[in-house]
Structure 1
């Protein structure tokens, strides 16, 4: 029988957070500076700030509310999301600025560096979704640090070895985060997950809050995909926004249809809807540089929603039974499969639009190499992180304390009075 209370994290979590935050403050004090000498007019500043805020809303509110679908894990889903996001963003700024520090002696901070760091944090939040409810905050902080480190290393390898552009390397965050999370949950498999966890369920209230997170993500996803598009050509940025919106619209309609068709009673499934309607945005984001026509984006959104919904319906159970991968938020179906579909669409569209066969073959080789490096590095980092988190020093929660806020949060009205 499990003990009444979960292990206290006072001696683990507080020192870790204070050590990290003081370390970040010291690094920012001596090695960073704000890029203030760049001349930016009022209109340009307003546009840049608006795009930064859109990404910020997605990371904090979108992912935060999305993680509240578990009936007894709402405090942790939203609270830990914010904690992981802010730590991962600070760590991302530092890691992405290492090259600037090496050549200039300072890490330059501007809107672009903040946005790139928040996208790195989004990759960590995707990986966290696979482990949602089965870890404690100490685990989540370690996951965030190592996942962001691996993702930044992956960017550097792709940009250095294969000359991949920043936009294309960043948008692989869906694939990297999903496979990192899958490998992590495979390493940290619990025997209790063979049967459904006792508290792994949702109700109307938690489902409504979670759907609110989906709405935030759906509304701001065009900004997320277009924020790093070259702004010297307004047509490209407008094309990215329109393509993302159309793909999201098509995926929302398609996910609703497939959800009803796959239900024996012909009813909508809220969990299917809130995750799979985002599949079009994921797929188009990965293939953004090759999508030029509206129908291409709509087709990608349609296929992505079908693949994501079917994967959510059937793949999650089979992954758990066959490979012992208990993927709480089904990040493989929500981010992994649509990301792979977007990668495949980009490969097909680039080869179709190329007039030179030699150039097309060279692109295919480099494109396939980029995917293999990304998946290999994400799996390796997932294994390393999983092995580190198996150490009982981090005091993992017992099976009966999984998906339960009371293991970590104070509930005065439920306190035992003596």
Structure 2
């Protein structure tokens, strides 16, 4: 597990984002330490109110980059002036990308007694614990073990209770949702989702991370459930991690690039408008220049609308920790190149939305100042400013016109 140090500057919105980052890190089995000197990673949530503040942020980022192995910079200055941090050994990310980057491509970890949680209008439903993978870089497998899947009816009842308690968005979570039911000899994620969508109520369902191998065997059934149930966000998070079969083999990822592509093609055929989310680990110990170029080529080919880029970091007790690592400069250069391509791809996807109207968009939570964060049918994030003027609150459904884009999200106004 990673030891993290986090510092937050600026407004209450930044503090709220940091709390969410910490919640996700704790859920993934990581823990906070008091200072950067004893941390594996440092997180700096920045502010950019005045020039003096910006100078302070750069100075602090420089200090943290010298004190810890990995530095993640997020917040207002990171998003508005990310180029200012280009000279540092740091990754500049949107706040909701930080937890995944810190986890080094590992599966999230839930406790054995994980129960549903209602947070505002968001209902979090862990459907199983453990996974079927044996990734060479992942330490969480030691904490979770193999998949343990409760019966479908048990999960449906928990989902129903969340909806009756006021949940408008159900987030289906687990180490690997795609292998739900494998321990009982059946692949039944699609059956579970179908049953949850049949619950009375007006709500949306987001499916959490599902590794390509688990999805591949049920890709047609799963895509059909997405296509026929409006309650499901048309969103799939399938972390490929590399575009090289050689590296995937060294990672012991179980899938090959061709299987990942078949999953993407199946969803492309079934869904007109959907979001592909994936993860890449750059700088794995055995990754060559050619392997990296294969990852870049795969990114260009599939053009996912949400991409998590993580520099490889050794975790004690894992097989990959015994491998001779690549130099920090190589990892930094490859990460920088992929992150640049990522922003081009994601930015283009949101730019294409400008001028479009999205119907039945769910207001999920409050944003910065007088704004709200919304999700459309493909789980794309839309921000509505001056929300009080429109009477918008979390839990409402609204039709929105996309007015402008900001790389990883778009701005919209009610129709």
Bigger relative contact order (CA 8 A; separation at least 6): 1
- Structure number with the higher helix fraction is 1
- Structure number with the higher strand fraction is 2
TM superposition score category, shorter chain reference: under 0.3
